[in-house]
Amino acid sequence: MAAEIQPKPLTRKPILLQRVEGSQEVVNMAVIVPKEEGVISVSEDRTVRVWLKRDSGQYWPSIYHVMPSPCSCMSFNPETRRLSIGLDNGTISEFLLSEDYNKMTPVKNYQAHQSRVTMILFVLELEWVLSTGQDKQFAWHCSESGQRLGGYRTSAVASGLQFDVETRHVFIGDHSGQVTILKLEQENCTLVTTFRGHTGGVTALCWDPVQRVLFSGSSDHSVIMWDIGGRKGTAIELQGHNDRVQALSYAQHTRQLISCGGDGGIVVWNMDVERQETPEWLDSDSCQKCDQPFFWNFKQMWDSKKIGLRQHHCRKCGRAVCGKCSSKRSSIPLMGFEFEVRVCDSCHEAITDEERAPTATFHDSKHNIVHVHFDATRGWLLTSGTDKVIKVGCCLILEAFHLWPCVNIQEPQDHMRSAPKLTLGNEHF
């Protein structure tokens, strides 16, 4: 049964300060240039651009490079200034940017996939390039030799990719809603486990290597926090979007998660609170409050001479209840329900005002976000969207817990259910 979702008011509106025109198609990915007032972007129009802020205050491309195929994704390593670009034709092209970000030198090409590259990660410590493609293949290459080290076929097209350097575990989220964990060696990989919690495809992954927590965003509008390192088997659900979650980022120093959706919503979640798992939904042939039969319980309907009722579930206790016994709505932020959801009448009375205090803030980016990047050193937040727009802003989430005025760079021309229990087997993380 779908919940009734009511958006909360915004705390502050981002202020448009800058417009830069150029891209003719969707900007698929963009990152903030560390220690520079600049942005690197790749677009569906086949261009790679490095935007630097000039003395005039305007952003202009210091690099404008046209690739042979639409640019689907990228990975940039600030320490080496190595830029890896995934293309629609399955190729990964690698470049080295100059210190002044005014020149890019070709290094090598990887024939990584048979079709569009969906995600890339460059791992400096191991000199590996990890990638996924629409050919349902995960692959990793040696960045020095360019040699393919190994691969793994996923159950569906992968759209999320994260890697833990310490344990060499790779996390792959795909369109079937499954997350796969692999252990990588130099030239082979081992399947550790797979888990599923979303009713829609996984659209983004984010990894916290300190707390050893994995976040997965989905087209079912939800985010799930998977406790990997704690080995508690917990999976905590976060409901704060009215549309598919398309991008995730994590501020590790403040333990705050940033999720962005197709509805333009930016949600900043405080993950430094003790959250609770949602209960498993209980099965019953009659309301567990008033004992009225549900509509499929023909025997009890006949015996009691009553018409069966529709079944609902309380998001707080998980009991199966009828509509009359669950007429109230309440937010339950510590369970991840920032919007008001159905609860039974007794649970509604038990929830205190303190328990209804929000643990997230909501903001409207005014565009359909496809990618987000957070620069923790300066507190800058970047989003790129399907409207050919890049927005860069100051996201002071250390203490303020809300977005501050942003610099915007524009280039014109019942999914609600109990979260599953996570079982990781005997593998040590």
pLDDT tens digits, 240-284: 998 999 999 998 888 899 999 988 889 999 998 888 888 888 888
Residue 171's DSSP bridge partners are 162, 181
Classified by CATH at the fold level, domain 15-277+359-394 comes out as: Methylamine Dehydrogenase; Chain H (2.130.10)
pLDDT at residue 26 in the model: 92
* d(C-alpha 7, C-alpha 5), whole Å: 7
72 vs 19, higher pLDDT: 72
pLDDT at residue 222 in the model: 93
Tokens standing for residue 166: 């310490």
pLDDT tens digits, 352-405: 888 888 888 888 888 889 999 998 888 888 899 888 888 887 654 433 333 333
Share of the chain above pLDDT 70, in %: 83
Claim: this prediction has a pTM higher than 0.85: no
In the predicted model, is pLDDT for residue 328 greater than 60? Answer: yes
pLDDT classification of 229: cutoffs 50, 70, 90: confident
13 vs 42, higher pLDDT: 42
pLDDT at residue 257 in the model: 94
Query: Contact 217/204 with Cβ under 8 angstroms?
Result: yes
In the predicted model, is pLDDT for residue 20 greater than 90? Answer: no
* d(C-alpha 420, C-alpha 415), whole Å: 13
pLDDT at residue 395 in the model: 57
In the predicted model, is pLDDT for residue 233 greater than 70? Answer: no
In the predicted model, is pLDDT for residue 349 greater than 70? Answer: yes
Tokens standing for residue 331: 């937010």
139 vs 252, higher pLDDT: 139
Q: Where do the domains of the chain lie?
A: 15-277+359-394, 278-358
Q: Per 3-state DSSP, what percentage of the chain is helix, strand, and coil (rounded to 5)?
A: 5, 45, 50
pLDDT classification of 111: cutoffs 50, 70, 90: very high
* CATH number assigned to the domain covering 278-358: 3.30.40.10
87 vs 298, higher pLDDT: 87
3-state secondary structure of 78: coil
60 vs 400, higher pLDDT: 60
In the predicted model, is pLDDT for residue 92 greater than 50? Answer: yes
